Amino acid sequence: MAPDDLFRPVQRQRTYEQVLSQIEEQILQGRLRAGDRLPGERQLAESLRVSRPAVREALRVLEAMGIVSAGTGSGPGSGSRVTGDGSPVLSTVLRLHVALSSFSQREVMEVRVQLERWAVREAARSLRPEQVQSLREVVARMRDQHITHSAFNELDTDFHVGMAQACGNALLGLLMQALRDAVHQEMTLTFQRLSDPRSTRDALVSQHAAILDAVEGSDGEEAARLVERHIVEFYESLESSRLEPGQPT
């Protein structure tokens, strides 16, 4: 019998990955919950019989995933704390993967259209007057001609994410934030290349106001139609500005 029939390659799981697996398993089993504190680095290393650098690497990964927040200092109260804020990591992951062309800006735009159509339909059913008012204030601030394109883009994000969050589905709010963040830098850059960014800004603000009118009037289908056109038209204007000859790239 050939050695290959007797032996299979040993699965090499690196030490920090084993630490990671153990902590993840505790969370998945519900034994570690949001707010709980992990043992300190040294104590974890002793319990798991691994080196402190291996523990630290695992903690870094969990921090990057928004699962734990870093502990500071030393002593019994110094361990990392289990949190549960997935927003930054989803944003970072999507942003880097857009940059690496794992998927395109168009694909991000298409997913946004679907989620935003849903968000405004829900909003038209359920938004309370004070939530509408708070979105109206975002639109009012977008009218300020003195703010930068980047600040304008952030308010734009506040409008779309605020609408999604108001619908009461935390995952929808999180995805919307991540999808917007993923294209923020590219959007701001492209904005500066538009031949008439001011008029584009005016158009976007009017469209926001119209979407909000439809939501306030409980007309979910109209709001969905408007938000789709709003997103697709803006995406297409960015695309065509990118293709215009003679523009700086």
Question: CA-CA distance, 6 to 18, in Å (whole number)?
Answer: 26
> Do 156 and 139 contact (CB within 8 A), yes or no?
no
Q: Among residues 40, 86, 162, 220, which is the contact residue for a second copy, using CB under 8 A?
A: 86
Asked if 114 is part of the footprint of a second copy (rule: CB under 8 A), the reply reads yes
Regarding 217 and contact with a second copy (CB under 8 A), the answer is no
Cβ atoms of 41 and 56 within 8 Å: the answer is yes
Residue 179 or 212: which CB sits closer to a second copy? 179
Q: Is 15 in the site for a second copy (CB under 8 A)?
A: no
3-state class of 72 per DSSP? coil
Q: Which residues contact 243 (CB under 8 A, 6 or more apart)?
A: none
**Which of these segments, 37-45, 169-177, 192-200, 212-220, binds a second copy (CB under 8 A)?**
169-177
Footprint (CB under 8 A) of a second copy, residues 52-71? 53, 56-58, 60-61, 64-67, 70
The closest alpha carbon to 242, from 54, 104, 140, belongs to 104
Q: Which of residues 16-45 bind a second copy (CB under 8 A)?
A: 16, 20, 24, 27-28, 30, 33-34
Among 172, 183, 214, 215, contact with a second copy (rule: CB under 8 A): 172
Check the CA dihedral 20-23-25-28 and report its sign. Answer: negative
Tell me the site size for a second copy, rule CB under 8 A.
53
Name which position in 146, 171, 196, 245 contacts a second copy (CB under 8 A). Answer: 171
Look up residue 21 and give its amino acid: S
